[in-house]
A and B are shown apart, each in its own frame.
Chain A
Amino acid sequence: MKTKFHFATAIAVLTAVPAASADEIRVLNWQGYGTDLDWAVAEFSEATGHTVVHEYFNSEQEMLTKLRTNPGAYDVVLINAAFTPQAQSEGLIGPIDGSKIANLADVPADLSGNQDLNAGGALHGVPWTWGLTSFAVNTNDFSEAPTSIQVFWDGDFAGKVSIRDDALEAVQFAAIATGQDINDIGDLDAIEAKLAALMPQIRTYWGSENDWNQFMAAGDLSVATFWSGSASRSMSAGLPVQFVVPEEGAIGWLDGLSIPSSSTKQDAAHAFINWMIDPDFYVRWAEEGAPASANAKAAAALPEDAFNKRILGDPAVVARVQFQRPVSAENRETYLELWQGLKAAQ
């Protein structure tokens, strides 16, 4: 019995050894999106001995192409849940070993059981963050925040409105405004009409968070679509803006961290993901402005007045959220054509 026990510890030690050896893991993510925070990477290296190198993508298509063309080059990749099934079906990412991610136990079952993250019948992406695509208003122009998305079509704000230059986001935004399911749009004509009516209201499209902040600071805009994580950053930076989740609802998204099937540093990759969903990391990240954490313990650890607790922690708000599902290539093309046609008509 005793020898058996020794044997077991020996195996445990042996299997633990590779994890302790210093690996260099390569992370593929959007630039400036949490995983590349200097202090977080430095502390992770100190704690585990692994070093982290980052590479960035500018669109989901580019991310998928990088995974396809560079097998073995990446160890951790951020994939939006709407793209996880595609990455899984192409064999680009492998299943997650939950036993190597201690913090996974604190992720609520409705997130870890998300059907897109569990593509192929096993967990292929660890729920990391989620957030909303809704809108924010300039508090200089609004004494009280509007409650309806129809404020975008209000003539009082003509020429002071902006939405992001993105076909899918524009179509789903209009789907919410016309009371449709964003993942199963029945009446595309209504959406086209709704967007066509919105166009004269628009001052400019925004492309990046930086754009958005500049336009708001200059007073160019009164109301503009925005991401919840970015809104919390803008508000903590002192911009006079308020994030609104209208009664019609909002678009929700869920980001997961996945491990490419071609990664040779599985242990280090799992360790990094565990680090990234740790409450200690998240609370510090949230101070700088972060999306909502998928880890319930991390969300609970936030101070009471934190943006993510105040707005996204409200069950009534969460009930109005429509989470994005994968979009077929045909629909994506149709939406792009519709959006380009509307832009060209200006």
Chain B
Amino acid sequence: MSTILANQDRLRIFGLLSPAYLWLTVAIFLPLSAMFYFSFLSDVPFGDTEWTYTTENYAAFFQTSTYATLLWKSVKLGLTVTAIAVLIGFPCAYVLAKVIKGRSREALFLLVILPFWSNSLVRIFSWAIVLRGNGVLELGLNFILPFEVDVNLMFSTPAIVIGLVHSYLPYVILTSYLALQAIDDNLIDAARSMGANKLTILWRIILPLSLPGLLAGAVLIFVPVVGSFMEPRILGGRVGTYYGTVIEDQFVAVFNWPLGAALSFILLAVVLLILAVASPVLKKAQT
């Protein structure tokens, strides 16, 4: 009797889950494995070109210091952008979830998500107009301030960081907001009634309880920023060469897909490694 039930359950679970697995196969597993296959070829296998299986593309990463330098530069960029986004996004989410009530919360929430509805390329080009010397920012500041300032952030690392933080900030706000909203206000009231000050409440109650959301947001930002290429290219100028732009060059400019694919998988491996190293912390936060 129980085995029949178990079988039926299994069938039902399988039936319910199959669309999800089908989607994962088609949208993630197939393209990724195609790229994985490419990364072991000596040449792009189109037409009559001769190609063989090789691990040279992976070896290329270690033959010069160029790729490792750039990867480290990209990881540092990812950490900087994530840290700044968390520092700005978490207080925003707290204010949205705990301080503001009613109608104005919806309006503010809309403003947070609004940048998400525009194309990212449009956002970055808008930043280029703002940050450029003699641009909107400089003209605006000189209009307000009594003295002349020279703000030319375009084509610098700060410009890249500003553009990326703005692009990815909503992730941290949204995930933190959900976690913060789930915290029972009675807990905070109880702590206050027992004499805890604001800092203690933040440190002992709010932060631990909202940490899963905060970390989920941080991971969601860190991973794409490490591989970002469009923002550094447009806003970074001479200093805008990162690991992501080199991968893009392999696909677009040099037409060396196998090397581009191999570099992408090295990036994937490094990101997974970083997340694995960080996982004890992540797990602790979940419990």
Binding site for B on A (CB under 8 A): 58-59, 61-62, 65, 68-69, 90, 165-166, 199, 202-205, 207, 218-220, 336-337, 340-341, 343-346
Do residues B48 and A68 form an inter-chain contact, with CB atoms below 8 A?
yes
* Total residue contacts A-B, CB cutoff 8 A: 63
- A residues in contact with B254, CB < 8 Å: 59, 61, 336
- A residues in contact with B64, CB < 8 Å: 337, 341
Q: Give chain B interface residues in 233-266, CB to chain A under 8 Å.
A: 233, 236-241, 246, 249, 252-255
- B residues in contact with A207, CB < 8 Å: 233
Q: Give chain B interface residues in 87-125, CB to chain A under 8 Å.
A: none
Given known A-B contacts A59-B253, A340-B246, A203 and B46 have beta carbons under 8 A apart: no
Do residues A69 and B132 form an inter-chain contact, with CB atoms below 8 A?
no
A203 in complex: contacting residue of B238, B241, B255, CB < 8 Å: B238
Do residues A219 and B238 form an inter-chain contact, with CB atoms below 8 A?
no
Do residues A344 and B69 form an inter-chain contact, with CB atoms below 8 A?
yes
Given known A-B contacts A336-B254, A341-B66, A204 and B238 have beta carbons under 8 A apart: yes
Q: Which 5 A-B pairs have the closest CB atoms?
A: A68-B47, A204-B237, A61-B255, A343-B241, A69-B47
A219 in complex: contacting residue of B134, B237, B253, CB < 8 Å: B134
Number of chain B interface residues as a range: 20 to 34
Binding site for A on B (CB under 8 A): 44, 46-49, 64, 66, 69-70, 73, 132-134, 154-155, 233, 236-241, 246, 249, 252-255
- B residues in contact with A219, CB < 8 Å: 133-134
Closest residue on chain A to residue B135 by CB atoms: A218
Nearest CB in chain A: distance from B233 CB, A: 8
Nearest CB in chain B: distance from A331 CB, A: 14
Closest residue on chain A to residue B67 by CB atoms: A344
- Docked Cα-Cα span, A341 to B69, in Å, equals 10
Do residues A205 and B238 form an inter-chain contact, with CB atoms below 8 A?
yes
Nearest CB in chain A: distance from B214 CB, A: 33
Given known A-B contacts A204-B155, A220-B154, A337-B64, A65 and B47 have beta carbons under 8 A apart: yes
Do residues A68 and B252 form an inter-chain contact, with CB atoms below 8 A?
no
Do residues B49 and A68 form an inter-chain contact, with CB atoms below 8 A?
yes
20 additional contacts (CB under 8 A) given A68-B46, A336-B254: A59-B252, A61-B254, A61-B255, A65-B47, A65-B255, A68-B47, A68-B48, A68-B49, A202-B237, A203-B155, A203-B238, A204-B155, A204-B238, A205-B237, A207-B233, A219-B133, A219-B134, A220-B132, A344-B66, A346-B239
Do residues B47 and A199 form an inter-chain contact, with CB atoms below 8 A?
no
- Docked Cα-Cα span, A166 to B155, in Å, equals 18
Do residues B132 and A218 form an inter-chain contact, with CB atoms below 8 A?
yes
- Docked Cα-Cα span, A219 to B154, in Å, equals 13
- Docked Cα-Cα span, A182 to B182, in Å, equals 67
Closest residue on chain B to residue A202 by CB atoms: B238
Given known A-B contacts A68-B47, A336-B254, A199 and B238 have beta carbons under 8 A apart: yes
Nearest CB in chain A: distance from B257 CB, A: 10
- B residues in contact with A336, CB < 8 Å: 254
- Docked Cα-Cα span, A27 to B249, in Å, equals 26
Do residues B66 and A65 form an inter-chain contact, with CB atoms below 8 A?
no
- Docked Cα-Cα span, A58 to B70, in Å, equals 25
B70 in complex: contacting residue of A62, A166, A220, A344, CB < 8 Å: A344
Nearest CB in chain B: distance from A275 CB, A: 29
- Docked Cα-Cα span, A149 to B46, in Å, equals 41
Q: Of residues B132, B236, B237, which shows the largest number of chain A Cβ atoms within 10 Å of its Cβ?
A: B237
- A residues in contact with B49, CB < 8 Å: 68
